[in-house]
Chain A
Amino acid sequence: MFSYIVRRLLVMVPTLLAISAIVFTIIQLPPGDYLSTMIAELQAQGETANLERIEFLRQQYGLDRTPVEQYFHWLFGLLHGDLGWSFEYNLPVAHVIGDRLVLSFLVAFTTVIFTYVVAFPIGIYSATHQYSWGDYGLTLLGFLGLATPSFLLALVMLYLANIWFGTSIGGLMDAEFIDKPMSGAKFLSVLEHLWIPVIVIGTSGTAAMIRRLRANLLDELQKQYVVTARAKGLPPHRALLKYPLRMSLNPFISDIGDLLPHLISGAAIVSVVMSLPTNGPMLLAALRSQDMYLAGSFLMIEAILIVVGVFLSDLALAALDPRIRLHGGATK
């Protein structure tokens, strides 16, 4: 087990390096940089750009160096926990995104829990009651969940909540708590607002998970050992829970690798629609204004989150399934 962990960790290093290179390339892709955009904007407004200051900034942020030098500069910064400087906010990136990251993690984490809690019983029900009305209804619902664009679901939910509860449920907390330090009341307010984005973001992931769990469990239930167990007179719920369910649990854990990117993608667009104070809207704004270090940090952190999530799920899978532990191999 120990050697497996070490090997997995070692593989992560080149992966993360490659990711950082790709992220840097992407944020460098648009022609020009933030400063040239700024100069153009100032000149358009009829103001003269303070060339000295611009030149100072250019040197300060290393924008006058070659892209390769800039990349290594950025990478070293990352390794020391320095995410760079946000031009738009004129603050270190870490200051700008700190709160948002915490809330993003909170949303992502809650959504994973939501997905599991909902998908698990429904998947089992669908598999054990195959071709019943309940199964058909839930399958249809699942397909609809997969097919509906999440931003639209968000809009409709906002509208319905406005009609039914008469409150605006956009955002992640009541207005009076914005920019206040974390407190008990603020936390409660966040919890109150959290459920709608969680449902909206989690729907399609949940639908996919239900389908996979159902298919896996159906495969298991048709196997000989289940028939044997039943023939020997094992009570039905034990014949279900003891082995087939355990076998079909693997996707729950291994799918985290698919689920996390999916959730973060979903969260990005839903939070724009619902104006959540998470990564999405800020990333969009940063991409538009070429605030490259801010955008890069978001992409990088999201990718790291996924790589670490997959690593943890691999560990959990290895702990659960001796075949993976012993062969030390990839899960897919």
Chain B
Amino acid sequence: MTDFPASGDRLAHYVRREPFDAYDGEKADPALERYYMATQWRLMWWKLKRHKLAFWSGVFLIALYLSILVSEMIAPYSLGSRHTEFIYAPPQRVHLWHEGRFVGPFVYGLDYSLDMDTLKRNYAPNPDKVQPIRFLCRGEGYDWLGLVPGNVHLMCPAEGGTLFLLGTDRLGRDMFSRLSYGTRISLTIGLIGVTLKFVLGIVLGGLAGYYGGWVDMTIQRLIEIIRSFPELPLWMALSAALPVSWSPLYIYFGITLILGLIGWTGLGRAVRSKLLSLREEDFCTAANLMGAKPKRIIFRHLIPSFMSHLIASATLAIPTMILGETALSFLGLGLRPPITSWGVLLTEAQNINVVALYPWLLLPVVPVIATVLAFNFLGDGLRDAADPYK
């Protein structure tokens, strides 16, 4: 269409060589065709990608979950290593420039002094002690995932120096390292608990929704009874009942079990009501008329059509578990050391003195809030995306 002839002249001669196709005009353009042919999951993915906040929350969460695979490497120190000469040391700031000269990331060493009036430990950064951070270095040994011994860390303190990015606690343990280990426990407790919730919710909600009648009545009453309890006191009572003689690992699974056993009711209700409404849909009747058995109808037709909704609700349910574990551990009824979660770390910050004197002990709450927010955003985005044609 570039060169039109001058007005009055003939148009250039044009013959189209392709064979004639009568339906040419009705063909959808490829983009539209892709859209119509796309599977439900693909549609969800496209829609989720457009929801920027949910998308980046998802990326953040995936990164966080990947990081728990290598918690040992991210942490500069091991979980329990104590630095008795640096008790309640404040976070060390990372600097790049020393007296106008570029050194790369480094921290100033800490000078310790004791305030003889208040007996408060004071730490002052000493500008003469430049301690460059080493990266991908060999440091304290560990057993990766409790199996493979190793000693490579993402970053280590300088030789003879210290690296307390988030300060230390009352035993002189590095908070950043402990936080890194705590992430593993806090995140998995949410995931395992939600899996349990999911299974219970689908099975019991599915039974209620598909069979109806007395099964439905019984399960509905059960849900109602469980929901009549305030969650936290019930959790408290149940975790107080866990035997004291159990090892911390058993307690970990016990707590997860408790959180999951009480929390499935919301999902159960969602499954039930979805099943009830989907059962009446045309495609279900059609499958019935074509002689499909209930098993095939449930697994082939019903469950796939509300799976996306379920995943969205499960995503929204994970933060409850994380917050629940945090609250229980904070009260001293949840996980016990040496198993370290965000809640266990927060037990150090139980009174107002800590907030006033050692505010960095409150820092474990930052990942709690960030994770809960991210799960909420992602869950909201997934819920919107689960309705692809809306």
Task: Mark A residues whose CB is within 8 Å of B.
Answer: 14-15, 18-19, 22, 26-27, 29-31, 143-144, 146-149, 151-152, 155-156, 158-159, 162, 257, 260-262, 264-266, 268-269, 272-273, 279, 283-284, 287-288, 295, 298-299, 302-303, 306-307, 310, 332
Given contact pairs A156-B355, A162-B352, A269-B327, A264 touches B346 in the complex (Cβ within 8 A):
no
CA of A318 to CA of B8, assembled, Å: 81
Given contact pairs A146-B376, A149-B323, A159-B355, A299 touches B233 in the complex (Cβ within 8 A):
yes
Ranked 4 nearest A-B pairs via Cβ = A265-B232, A29-B241, A264-B230, A147-B372
A287 & B240 in contact (Cβ 8 Å cutoff) = yes
Given contact pairs A19-B228, A144-B373, A307-B228, A265 touches B233 in the complex (Cβ within 8 A):
yes
- Shortest A128–chain B CB gap in Å is 21
- Shortest B96–chain A CB gap in Å is 32
A18 & B225 in contact (Cβ 8 Å cutoff) = yes
- Shortest B322–chain A CB gap in Å is 10
CA of A144 to CA of B230, assembled, Å: 22
A-B contacts, 16 listed (Cβ < 8 Å): A15-B224, A18-B225, A19-B229, A27-B237, A30-B243, A146-B372, A149-B326, A155-B352, A156-B355, A257-B227, A262-B230, A268-B230, A283-B236, A299-B234, A310-B228, A332-B269
Residues of B near A295 (CB, < 8 A) are 237
Given contact pairs A15-B224, A26-B241, A272-B331, A152 touches B229 in the complex (Cβ within 8 A):
no
Residues of B near A273 (CB, < 8 A) are 350
B237 & A287 in contact (Cβ 8 Å cutoff) = yes
CA of A283 to CA of B230, assembled, Å: 13
CB-nearest residue of chain A to B235: A265
Given contact pairs A155-B352, A159-B356, A283-B236, A261 touches B229 in the complex (Cβ within 8 A):
yes
CB-nearest residue of chain A to B328: A269
CA of A179 to CA of B317, assembled, Å: 42
- Shortest A276–chain B CB gap in Å is 14
Residues of A near B376 (CB, < 8 A) are 143, 146-147
B349 & A302 in contact (Cβ 8 Å cutoff) = no
CA of A102 to CA of B49, assembled, Å: 52
> Is there a chain A Cβ closer than 8 Å to B221's Cβ?
yes
Question: Which of B231, B240, B351 contacts A288 (CB under 8 A)?
Answer: B240
> Is there a chain A Cβ closer than 8 Å to B369's Cβ?
yes
A15 & B350 in contact (Cβ 8 Å cutoff) = no
Given contact pairs A147-B376, A159-B352, A265-B233, A152 touches B362 in the complex (Cβ within 8 A):
yes
CA of A162 to CA of B377, assembled, Å: 34
Question: Which of A15, A22, A30, A260 contacts B240 (CB under 8 A)?
Answer: A30
- Shortest A278–chain B CB gap in Å is 12
A306 & B228 in contact (Cβ 8 Å cutoff) = yes
CA of A310 to CA of B352, assembled, Å: 37
CA of A314 to CA of B78, assembled, Å: 55
CA of A162 to CA of B221, assembled, Å: 47
Interface centre among B232, B236, B237 (most CB of A within 10 A): B237
- Shortest B380–chain A CB gap in Å is 9
A299 & B327 in contact (Cβ 8 Å cutoff) = no
> Is there a chain A Cβ closer than 8 Å to B319's Cβ?
yes
Q: Mark B100-139, 1 if CB is under 8 A from A, else 0.
A: 0000000000000000000000000000000000000000
Residues of B near A159 (CB, < 8 A) are 352, 355-356
Task: Mark B residues whose CB is within 8 Å of A.
Answer: 221, 224-225, 227-234, 236-238, 240-241, 243, 269, 319, 323, 326-327, 330-331, 333, 346, 349-352, 355-356, 362, 365, 368-369, 372-373, 376-377
CA of A159 to CA of B323, assembled, Å: 22
Residues of B near A260 (CB, < 8 A) are 230
- Shortest A100–chain B CB gap in Å is 14
Residues of B near A144 (CB, < 8 A) are 369, 373
B229 & A15 in contact (Cβ 8 Å cutoff) = no
CA of A31 to CA of B326, assembled, Å: 26
Residues of A near B233 (CB, < 8 A) are 264-265, 268, 279, 283, 298-299, 302
Interface centre among A14, A261, A266, A307 (most CB of B within 10 A): A261
CB-nearest residue of chain A to B349: A155
Question: Which of B225, B240, B346, B373 contacts A147 (CB under 8 A)?
Answer: B373
CA of A100 to CA of B323, assembled, Å: 26
Residues of B near A265 (CB, < 8 A) are 230-233
CA of A298 to CA of B234, assembled, Å: 10
CB-nearest residue of chain B to A258: B227
CA of A261 to CA of B269, assembled, Å: 17
Question: Which of B229, B234, B331, B362 contacts A284 (CB under 8 A)?
Answer: B331
CA of A155 to CA of B236, assembled, Å: 20
Residues of B near A158 (CB, < 8 A) are 352, 355
A15 & B221 in contact (Cβ 8 Å cutoff) = yes
Residues of A near B224 (CB, < 8 A) are 15
CB-nearest residue of chain B to A21: B225
CA of A288 to CA of B376, assembled, Å: 34
Residues of B near A149 (CB, < 8 A) are 323, 326-327, 330, 346, 365, 368
CA of A147 to CA of B221, assembled, Å: 30
CB-nearest residue of chain A to B231: A265
Residues of B near A283 (CB, < 8 A) are 233, 236
- Shortest A326–chain B CB gap in Å is 20
- Shortest A169–chain B CB gap in Å is 10
CA of A15 to CA of B225, assembled, Å: 6
CA of A265 to CA of B376, assembled, Å: 20
CB-nearest residue of chain B to A160: B355
Residues of B near A29 (CB, < 8 A) are 238, 241
Residues of A near B241 (CB, < 8 A) are 26, 29-30
CA of A29 to CA of B326, assembled, Å: 23
Residues of A near B231 (CB, < 8 A) are 261-262, 265
- Shortest A143–chain B CB gap in Å is 6
B355 & A269 in contact (Cβ 8 Å cutoff) = no
CA of A190 to CA of B241, assembled, Å: 34
B369 & A151 in contact (Cβ 8 Å cutoff) = no
- Shortest B182–chain A CB gap in Å is 14
CA of A310 to CA of B224, assembled, Å: 11
CA of A152 to CA of B349, assembled, Å: 9
Residues of A near B346 (CB, < 8 A) are 149, 152
